[in-house]
Structures are given as structure tokens and as C-alpha cells.
Amino acid sequence: MTLSWLNGQPADGLPVHDRGLAYGDGLFETIRVMGGRARLLERHVQRLAEGAQRLAIPLDIDELRTELLQFCQALGQGVAKLIVTRGTGQRGYALPQPCRPQRLLLGSLLPAYPAQHAECGIRLFPCDTRLAEQPRLAGIKHLNRLEQVLARAEWQDPAFAEGLMRDMSGRVIEGVFSNLFLVTEGHLRTASLSRCGVAGVMRAEIMARAAGLALPVSECDISYSELLQADEVFVCNSLYGIWPVTGLAERVWSVGPLTRKLQTVVADLLSDS
């Protein structure tokens, strides 16, 4: 499957002077597409709009939403990756004037994640790579993902489906390509992302649905020892939903009842219906 648009028109690349290539000056969203529809569309658009505002990239959000809907309809099934860059510019960090953002849409097949990841759970690899703390970029999905690239290069063993990432102070933040939740005495907790990390759209959806079910949920600092003492642990993202975590280093968990409940709660986001 190959499908790519640049600024709403079929294309196969960006200009060589694009600032996304030169500096990682931009944002992206990875969107699950089922039956020609983008799942969690408004959460993706909202996060992109917030990121564009923080980076001072002028975007017509209504135009972008319309373009994304059309692309997903053309794609049918798979993954739509939306990349927004600040556009082309001359050498140097100074912002181009005027700024003409570029919108790149790429279509691909859904990853072939093993069904057993959701059913039986996964083991986490304890990554040495730490996330740098930069509050101005915390939460948004900017193009610079070198920390994740370095972290993912730390393991090749297929026994580990995901890695655990911490910040420079050792606080638990997220997975390499997912967000992380833990359950302690029926309380759902996820890391504060005020210093670093990506505010995932599935993370936001789980928190909203948990609150709607009157399940206690909080964003807070989580130490490594608190993670190891948790009753249940799971990771999530917008492509695969929820994977229970059953192991980290010497710690072993069972797949817990709240994790199973939340898998059921978000199951509609992973089906064609």
C-alpha cells in the first residue's frame, strides 16, 4: 500500500530545504484508520493544534481536518501518518518569514502486532536512555524522536515488546512508543507529562472513559519503586489499544481485572463497526 499527499495533492517527497528535515521543526500524528474513518480524530487534531500553537506554526485546522478526512476515506484501512513542518527556509535557525507550513500525509498498513500481546501481556525492557526535561516541548508530538530511536536500539530480543523510559531524575514517564498506566488499590495512575513525554490520544481517551465510569484516575510523578509495587500495569497507544504488562526486570504481574475492563471499554476504537 502506497498513498502519499503533500498539501492535499498526490506527491512522494518534501523539498530538500524543508525545516522538518533540517531541524525536526514540526509535528506529527499517527492515526488508526478503519472503514475509511480516522479513529480518535478530534483528539489527534486537538493535540496537533496545541503543538502548532506552542511552536508558532500557523495552521488552518479546519482545512487540515477536511484534508485528513478525505485522505482516510481514500486509504480505507491502515495507518495515516500526518507530518506538519514549518516549511522551507534558508540556512540557520531563524524562523522563515513568511512561514508556509507543509502538510504531508502517508498511508501504510496496520502493524501486524501479535494478538497475544493484548491477550497475555508483554514484558518491558528497562531502557537506559533517559528523556530530557523540556517543559516547552512536553506533551506535544514534535518530530525529534532521537531519544526513542536510541532507546529502541537497546534491545533486539523479541521477548520484549516495548521499553520503559524514565526522565533524568529517574521518574517513570512512558514506553518508547506508548503511554503507561499503573493500578494501585483500584486507583488508576499515569505519569505527569509536565517536563517531558508525549500526551498520547489513547491515554487521554482512557482517562476520560475511566472518569466516566467513576474510576479514580490521576496524573502524578511515579517513581520506579512505585511502579514495581503496583498491582497492575499496562501500556497503550492509538494503534493497538491496551497491552497488559506482565514483566519488568525481576518483577512479574498477572493481567489484572481493571486492565481487562479498560480493554473492553476501548474495544470500539479497534473495530470496523
**What's the chain's average pLDDT?**
96
Question: Please, are residues 51 and 141 in contact by the beta-carbon 8 Å criterion?
Answer: yes
Pairing between β-strand 78-85 and β-strand 26-34 as defined by DSSP bridges: antiparallel
Averaged over 150-170, what is the pLDDT? Answer: 98
Question: How deeply is 150 buried, as exposed, middle or buried, from its count of CB atoms within 10 A (0-12, 13-18, 19+)?
Answer: middle
Active site residues: 30, 141, 174
pLDDT tens for 102-139 read 999 999 999 999 999 999 999 999 999 999 999 999 99
Distance CA 107, CA 75 (A): 7
pLDDT of residue 1: 57
Mean pLDDT of 193-215: 97
Query: Does residue 231 carry a pLDDT above 80?
Result: yes
Helix (H) / strand (E) containing 103: strand 102-108
Intrachain domains 3-108 and 115-270 with the same fold: no
For residue 132, what pLDDT is reported?
97
Q: What percent of the chain has pLDDT over 70?
A: 99
Q: How far apart are CA 49 and CA 111, in angstroms?
A: 26
pTM of the model: 0.95
Please state, in angstroms and rounded to a whole number, the distance separating the CA atoms of residues 72 and 78: 9
Provide CATH code, domain 3-108.
3.30.470.10
Q: What is the mean pLDDT of residues 55-84?
A: 96
Pairing of strands 217-220, 187-191: parallel
Question: Is the distance from CB of 177 to CB of 127 less than 8 angstroms?
Answer: no
Encode pLDDT of 37-49 as tens digits.
999 999 999 999 9
Q: Give 41-67 as a DSSP string.
A: HHHHHHHHHHHHHHHT----HHHHHHH
CA 22/CA 195 separation, integer angstroms: 25
Spatial separation of the C-alpha atoms in residues 273 and 268, rounded to whole Å: 7
Residue 91: predicted pLDDT = 85
What residue ranges do the domains of the chain occupy?
Answer: 3-108, 115-270
Confidence category of residue 272, pLDDT binned at 50, 70, 90: confident
Q: Would you mind telling me the total number of residues written for the chain in this entry?
A: 273
DSSP 111: P
208 within 8 A of 232, measured Cβ to Cβ: no
Burial class (CB in 10 A: 0-12, 13-18, 19+), 14: middle
Q: What is the largest CA-CA distance in the chain?
A: 55
As a whole number, mean pLDDT of residues 18-37 equals 96
Distance spanning both ends of the chain, measured CA to CA: 22
Residues above pLDDT 90, as percent of the chain: 94
| pLDDT, tens only, 11-25 | 988 889 999 999 999
Which pLDDT score is estimated for 90?
81
Residues 6+ apart with CB under 8 A from 222: 171, 172, 182, 189, 190, 191
Pinpoint the alpha helices (H) of the chain. Answer: 19-23, 41-55, 61-75, 115-120, 146-152, 201-212, 224-228, 257-265
- pLDDT (0 to 100) of residue 273: 64
State the fold for domain 115-270. D-amino Acid Aminotransferase; Chain A, domain 2 (3.20.10)
